[in-house]
Amino acid sequence: MSTESAKSRDKSPMLLSVESADLVRELVRKRGIVKGRLTKFNNHLESLLKDDDISSKKRIDLKLRIQACASLLAEFNHIQTKIEERVADSELDAQLTQREIFEDDYYDSIARAESILNVDEFADCSGSCRNHSHNSNHNPSSVKLPVISMPTFDGSYEHWLEFRDTFTSLIHDSKDISTIQKFHYLKSSLKGDAELVIHSIEFSAKNYQVAWDLLLNRYNNSDLLIDNHLDALFSIPPITKESPSLIRKLIDNVLKNIRALVILGEPADTWDTLTIYLIVSKLDKVTKREWQAHKFRLSQLNENNSKSRLTLSDIIGFLRNTADVLDSLQRSHGKDVHNTENKKQHKNLTTRHTAMFPASLTKRTITVLNLV
C-alpha cells in the first residue's frame, strides 16, 4: 500500500480529502455496475428456471454467459481492494462485508447456472439411453440408478487417495464436463485445510489446472502418505473387551491401511508376520487366548509342511468368525455377553468357539482372502 493510501486510511471519515472522497465515490459507482451485471445474470437464471424445457440454443447461450461472468469476480475484487485501501478504519468492516456478500452471491449464481446445465444434460442423456435400450431389446428399463455423491476432502492425508482417485475418475478425466465446471466441482468438494490451499485462486477456467496442481503438490506426497498410513496402523486403539463391532472395526482399519500402502508402492501385503503381531497386540485377553488356541490347531494342520507359515488371511478369517459367534450369542441372550447375569454362558464362550474348529475339520481347505 502506498504512503498516500496509508495516510488517508488513518484519517476519520470527516477528514478525508475531497480528492480521496471523490475517488471512493467513483469506485463505488464502478462496483455498482459490476453488481448490476451479476443481478442481470441472476434475473436470466430465474427466467430459465420457469421453462419446463431448455432448448439447445438457450443452453449454449447460458454456457456463454457463464464464461462471461468468470471475469466479474476479478473486476469486483480489483475495485473493492482500492475502496478498502482508501476508506477510514471505521468503515473497513462494512466494506469487508460488501466483499463477502458479493462473493457468496457470485458463487451461488455460478452454482445455480451449472446445476441448470447439468440437470438438462442429464435429462438428454437419460432420454438417449432409454431410446438406445428400446432399440436394442424393445424392453426399456424403468430402473432409476442412484446418484453418485461427489467426494469431499478436508485435508486429512488418510482420505487423500480415496478423494484423488474418485474425483479424477468422475470429474477431472471427464471429457463431457467443461473446465469451469470442473473448477466449481473442485471448490465445492473441498473443506477445512484443503479449501484454504486454493482459496486465493481466482475462479476462472484457466485457473482450474493451477488449483488442481496445488492440491497435488500439497497432498500427493508419497512419503507423507506412507508415514500417515503407518501411523494409522500402529495407532489403532486396543480392544479392552469382547465386542463384535470393535473386532470388525479393527479388521477394516488394518485392511484399509494395508491396501493404501500397497497402492503407494509399499509391499505391505507381504508383511504378514508383522501385521499379525500388531493385530494380536490390539486384541482383548479372551480373544487373544482363543487366537493362540486356533493358531495351535493350524500348526497341527500344517505339521507336515515345515515351510508353512501363518498368513494375514488366517487371523482375518479367525476374527471374522469370532465376531459372528459374539453376534450370535448376543442375539440369543438378548444382551451383551459381559452382563453379570450371563457370566456362566460367558465362561463357555471359549468352548463354544473351539467347537467351531473341531479336529475333524482340520483337513478342510482354508480359504485365502483377497486383500488387495
Last residue of a domain, one of 185, 220, 255: 220
Phi-psi group of 310: left, alpha or beta (phi > 0 → left; psi -120 to 50 → alpha; rest → beta): beta
> Phi and psi of 153, rounded to 5°?
-145, 130
Predicted confidence at residue 131, as pLDDT, reads: 46
- 17 grid coordinates: 480529502
- The answer to whether residues 327 and 348 belong to one domain is yes
Same domain for 253 and 346, yes or no, is: yes
Domain boundary among 194, 220, 246: 220
pLDDT, averaged per 10 consecutive residues of the chain (372 residues), comes to 43 57 88 91 83 76 81 86 85 87 86 73 44 44 59 87 89 87 89 89 87 90 87 92 92 90 88 93 94 87 68 91 89 60 51 48 39 40
Are residues 117 and 188 part of one domain?
no
Number of domains, the chain: 3
128 and 177 in a single domain? The answer is no
Other Cβ atoms less than 10 A from the Cβ of 283: the count is: 22
In a domain, 151, yes or no: no
Q: What is the pLDDT of residue 13?
A: 45
Residue 17: predicted pLDDT: 67
122 occurs within a structural domain: yes
Statement to judge: residues 239 and 192 lie in one domain: no
pLDDT at position 250 is 94
**Are 231 and 341 members of one domain?**
yes
Is 231 within a domain?
yes
229 and 353 belong to one structural domain: yes
For residues 134 and 86, give the distance between their C-alpha atoms in angstroms, rounded to a whole number. 66
Residue 206 sits in which domain range?
Answer: 157-220
Query: Is 180 in the same domain as 232?
Result: no
- Domain annotation covers residue 143: no
pTM of the model: 0.46
Based on the domain organization, do 172 and 258 belong to the same domain?
A: no
Of 165, 185, 220, the one marking the end of a domain is 220
Domain assignment of residue 366, yes or no: no
Residue 367 lies in a domain: no
| One domain for residues 229 and 186 | no
| pLDDT given at position 85 | 84
Cα–Cα distance, 315 to 273 (Å, whole number) = 11
Residue 215 and residue 231 in one domain: no
Distance in angstroms between the alpha carbons of the first and the last residue of the chain: 57
State the DSSP code for 348: T
Indicate if 178 and 305 belong to the same structural domain.
no
Q: How confident is the model over 13-36, as pLDDT tens digits?
A: 444 567 778 888 899 999 999 899
Residue 370 falls inside a structural domain: no
> What local confidence, expressed as pLDDT, does residue 215 receive?
92
- Residue 146 falls inside a structural domain: no
Q: Give the helix ranges, DSSP H, for the chain.
A: 3-10, 18-49, 56-69, 72-86, 89-137, 160-167, 179-189, 192-197, 208-219, 222-234, 244-263, 272-281, 285-301, 312-333, 343-347, 349-354
